[in-house]
Amino acid sequence: MECRTQTLTTVIPNDPNIIRATCNCFIQDVDGFGYDAESAVALVTGFAEAMANAHAHGNRREPQRTIAIHYALSRHQACLDICDQGDGFDPASVPDPTDDENIGKPSGRGLWLMRAMFDSVEFMEGGRRVRLTRRTTTAPPIAARQRDRGDPEQHHQHLSAERHQSAAPLAPPCVCVSSHSVMPATRS
């Protein structure tokens, strides 16, 4: 049985375009791991929420600040660690967005989503760092799902489609962009 882990450790500027590019790289990594839909949606949502919170709330959109990122993806677990350079906060002080008085408010749902989608949400360094941990499940390839359903014609069609997709050019490698240069992110 294959035991594979995808990790990334990097520090990026607090720039919305670089944050967006980093989120896209994360999506590629999650997609490449073959998680089931529920795990993939949770991971991408949690990562995007943590990045948005670091940018807007922690770093107050100040471009001279940075966001430190570390994540490790494996077949059975994902751990995401995002740290900003802000003043921190008390997570217990964030109002529950499901309370009647908060339903119409335009913000406040990110922490609620993270807590709903992850097995563990830890705040450290006075609220400047969040660690999200989730047990994950990988999905069988499309061809295997069709084969298991006993539909040989569909199995053949999906197998051909998978071969065609695997021949498609790979997306360009993800890079970490600093304020001075473009550097490969540390991956293992």
**What is the spatial distance between Cα 35 and Cα 42, in angstroms, rounded to a whole number?**
10
Q: Give the CA radius of gyration of the chain.
A: 19
Residue 92 DSSP class: G
Measuring CA to CA, how many Å separate 37 from each of 5, 42, 43, 45, 126?
19, 8, 10, 12, 33
pTM of this prediction?
Answer: 0.76
Q: Which CATH number fits domain 5-187: 3.90.580.10, 3.30.460.10, 3.30.565.10, 3.40.50.970?
A: 3.30.565.10
Residue 82 tokens read as 């995002």
The pLDDT profile of the chain, 188 residues, written as one tens digit per residue, is 456 899 999 999 999 999 999 999 999 999 988 899 999 999 999 999 999 999 999 999 999 999 999 999 999 999 999 999 999 999 999 999 999 999 988 888 999 999 999 999 999 999 999 999 999 998 876 544 444 555 444 434 443 343 333 333 333 344 433 333 333 466 66
pLDDT in tens, 139-174: 876 544 444 555 444 434 443 343 333 333 333 344
Q: Taking the CA of residue 9 as centre, how many other CA atoms within 13 Å lie in the half-sphere pointing to its CB? A: 2
Crossing angle of helices 16-33 and 37-53, in 10° steps, is 160
- 3-state secondary structure (DSSP) of residue 181: coil
